[in-house]
């Protein structure tokens, strides 16, 4: 028989991409209201892995990734996705999104994204939201899965997530003291 235990809290990571970099400044306060103060923020990353969003958002697209200071309970991911969807809607223009906001969380062993889209490898977590196991962490670093989006498989993103993972491990150590 397995004995249930309280899971470790997670490090919240939010990816945002947009055509107009100034939108980032406009949504930043909203992101902090949802997630708390920022811990680590990436440089601007190119978003040239797919043209899927070009029709709606235009091109070129740019991404920033943000890790937040407060560790979160893993079950809060669905509520956070609902809140970031509302923030996206607040910045619609002509029926299309000006910004795409993708929340996820990082644990020592994996990176999980929230999505409203059901698929075979996604687990329902409530509030019409699914958890997408995006990357697994092994002794060799992040392992790309067959369904990992190409942008999340990039060296830029996995490098950033590696830095976030190191900070997360320090945060866990401090929390357990």
Please state the rounded mean pLDDT for residues 77-103.
96
In a domain, 47, yes or no: yes
**Mean pLDDT, rounded, of the chain:** 96
Residue 1 lies in a domain: no
Cβ neighbours for 40, distance < 8 A, ≥ 6 positions apart: 66, 67, 160, 163, 164, 167
In a domain, 2, yes or no: no
For the chain, count helices (H), then strands (E). 4, 9
For residue 104, is it within any domain? yes
Domain of residue 59, residue span: 10-176
Q: What is the pLDDT of residue 19?
A: 95
Q: Is residue 28 part of a domain?
A: yes
- Say if 22 falls within a structural domain: yes
Average pLDDT of the residues in 122-138 = 98
Q: pLDDT tens for residues 11-26?
A: 999 999 999 999 999 9
Number of domains comprising the chain: 1
53-68 per-position pLDDT tens digit = 999 999 999 999 999 9
Q: How far is CA 173 from CA 9, 55, 138, in A?
A: 12, 45, 20
4 found inside a domain: no
Query: pTM for this one?
Result: 0.97
């Amino acid at each position: 028989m397995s004995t249930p235990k309280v899971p470790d809290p997670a490090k919240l990571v939010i990816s945002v991409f947009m055509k107009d970099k100034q939108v980032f400044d406009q949504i930043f306060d909203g992101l902090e209201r949802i997630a708390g103060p920022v811990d680590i923020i990436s440089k601007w990353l190119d978003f040239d892995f797919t043209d899927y969003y070009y029709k709606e958002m235009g091109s070129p697209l740019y991404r920033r990734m943000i890790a937040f200071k407060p560790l979160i309970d893993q079950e809060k991911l669905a509520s956070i996705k609902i809140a970031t969807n509302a923030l996206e809607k607040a910045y619609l223009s002509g029926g299309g999104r000006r910004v795409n906001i993708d929340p996820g969380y990082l644990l020592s062993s994996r990176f999980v994204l929230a999505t409203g889209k059901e698929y075979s490898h996604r687990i329902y977590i409530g509030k019409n939201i699914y958890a997408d196991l995006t990357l697994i962490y092994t002794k060799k670093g992040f392992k790309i899965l067959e369904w990992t989006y190409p942008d999340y498989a990039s060296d830029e993103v996995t490098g950033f997530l590696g830095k976030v993972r190191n900070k997360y491990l320090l945060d866990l150590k401090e929390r357990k003291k």
